[in-house]
C-alpha cells in the first residue's frame, strides 16, 4: 500500500516551453503533497507543500509563478514548470502523506526534466 | 530552523562487513527522524523511522538505527552489508509538533553514497 506514481518519468523540452508533471497517490487519499527538487549529487530541496483544495505554500526562493502547483483532488497534484530554461533541468520528486499521518511521506519515483 | 548533517559524503565497504552511517540533527523540539535509501534515478524508499519509544528502531533490509538524544544523533547500522545495498542514503528530520505551514515538512541531510566492494 501507499504507492505514489509520477508521470512522466523523463521529459525533454525546448527552452521557453512549459512542462507539466503529475503526482498521483494510487491507493490512498493524499491530503498533503510535497514537491522536491534534486540536483545531481545533492540532497532533496523542498519546493512547496500543497494541501488539497488550497493554494500551495512555497519555500523561500522558489518562484511561485514559475512553478505552478495544483492539488485539485485527494489523489492528484501537478507541478507545471512554466517557460522552462536549461537551469530548470533537474530531478523532481513528489511525496504524499495521509490525513492524520502527516509525518510519514511516501515518495514517487521522480521525473527527470531536461531543458534544451 | 532544523538541520541535518551527514558527515560522510562517500563510504566504501566490503561485502559482508558491518556498516554505520552517521547522522546528526539540530532541532529545538522533539524530532521525528527518518532514514531513506535512493537508487540512481529513483525515488526514495523509507528504511526506518523514529517517532517515540524504544530508541533502537528496526527497519527493512536488516537495517537499524539508534536515536541518541544526548548526542543529537540517529546513526544507521547494518551488521553485514550486501552488494545490493549500494545506493545513496538520506537522513531526514520532521517536526513532531507540525502545524500550519510546517505541516509534515522534512529536512534532509546531504546524503551518503555507499559503495560495496565484492
B104 inside 8 A of chain A by CB? yes
Q: Are B57 and B74 in contact (CB under 8 A)?
A: no
Query: What are the chain A neighbours of B104 within 8 Å (beta carbons)?
Result: 32, 34, 49, 97, 102-103, 105
Per-residue pLDDT reduced to its tens digit, B10-30: 999 999 999 999 999 998 777
Per-residue pLDDT reduced to its tens digit, B36-47: 999 888 889 999
d(CA B23, CA B63): 14
Tell me the three state secondary structure of residue B43. coil
Q: Which residue of A has its CA nearest to B93?
A: A103
CB contact under 8 A, A112 and B41: yes
Tell me which residue in A4, A57, A112 faces B101 most closely, judged by beta carbons.
A57
d(CA A100, CA A107): 17
A17 inside 8 A of chain B by CB? no
In the block, residue with C-alpha cell 517517532? B51
CB contact under 8 A, A103 and B51: yes
A77 inside 8 A of chain B by CB? no
Q: Which residue of B has its CA nearest to A101?
A: B104
What are B62's three cell numbers? 536488516
Query: In the prediction, which pLDDT does A102 show?
Result: 65
Per-residue pLDDT reduced to its tens digit, A5-33: 999 999 999 999 999 999 999 999 988 89
In chain B, the percentage of residues whose pLDDT exceeds 70 is 93
What are A79's three cell numbers? 507541478
Q: Which residue of A has its CA nearest to B102?
A: A49
B96 inside 8 A of chain A by CB? yes
Range in A9-23, A96-110, B36-50, B93-107 with the lowest mean pLDDT: B93-107
Tell me the three state secondary structure of residue A80. strand
d(CA A60, CA B117): 41
**DSSP character at residue A1:** -
Tell me the three state secondary structure of residue B94. strand
Q: Which residue of B29, B39, B40, B44 is the best one to mutate when testing the A interface, meaning the one whose CB has the most A CBs within 10 A? A: B44
Tell me which residue in A42, A105, A109 faces B106 most closely, judged by beta carbons.
A105
pLDDT higher than 50, residue B100: no
Tell me the three state secondary structure of residue B61. helix
Mean pLDDT confidence for B84-106: 77
Query: In the prediction, which pLDDT does B52 show?
Result: 84
Q: Under 8 Å CB-to-CB from B74, ≥6 apart: which residues? A: B23, B24, B25, B33, B35, B50, B65, B66, B67, B68, B91
* Terminal C-alpha separation, chain A: 37
B60 inside 8 A of chain A by CB? no
Overall size of chain A counted in residues: 116
CB contact under 8 A, B49 and A104: yes
Amino acid at each position: 500500500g501507499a504507492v505514489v506514481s509520477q508521470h512522466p518519468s523523463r521529459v525533454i523540452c525546448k527552452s521557453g516551453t512549459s512542462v507539466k508533471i503529475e503526482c498521483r497517490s494510487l491507493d490512498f487519499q493524499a491530503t498533503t503533497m510535497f514537491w522536491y527538487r534534486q540536483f545531481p549529487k545533492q540532497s532533496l530541496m523542498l519546493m512547496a507543500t500543497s494541501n488539497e483544495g488550497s493554494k500551495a505554500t512555497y519555500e523561500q526562493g522558489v518562484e511561485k509563478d514559475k512553478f505552478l502547483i495544483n492539488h485539485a483532488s485527494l489523489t492528484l497534484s501537478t507541478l507545471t514548470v512554466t517557460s522552462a530554461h536549461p537551469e530548470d533541468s533537474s530531478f523532481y520528486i513528489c511525496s504524499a502523506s495521509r490525513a492524520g499521518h502527516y509525518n510519514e511521506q511516501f515518495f514517487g519515483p521522480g521525473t527527470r526534466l531536461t531543458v534544451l | 530552523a532544523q538541520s541535518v548533517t551527514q558527515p560522510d559524503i562517500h563510504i566504501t565497504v566490503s561485502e559482508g562487513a558491518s556498516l554505520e552511517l552517521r547522522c546528526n540533527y539540530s532541532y529545538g523540539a522533539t524530532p521525528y527522524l527518518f532514514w531513506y535509501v535512493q537508487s540512481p534515478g529513483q525515488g526514495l524508499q523509507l528504511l526506518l523511522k523514529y517517532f517515540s519509544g524504544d530508541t533502537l528502531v528496526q527497519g527493512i533490509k536488516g537495517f537499524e538505527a539508534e536515536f541518541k538524544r544526548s548526542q543529537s544523533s540517529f546513526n544507521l547500522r547494518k551488521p553485514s552489508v550486501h552488494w545490493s545495498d549500494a545506493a545513496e542514503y538520506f537522513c531526514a528530520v520532521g517536526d513532531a509538533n507540525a502545524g500550519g505551514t510546517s505541516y509534515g515538512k522534512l529536512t534532509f541531510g546531504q546524503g551518503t553514497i555507499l559503495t560495496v566492494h565484492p
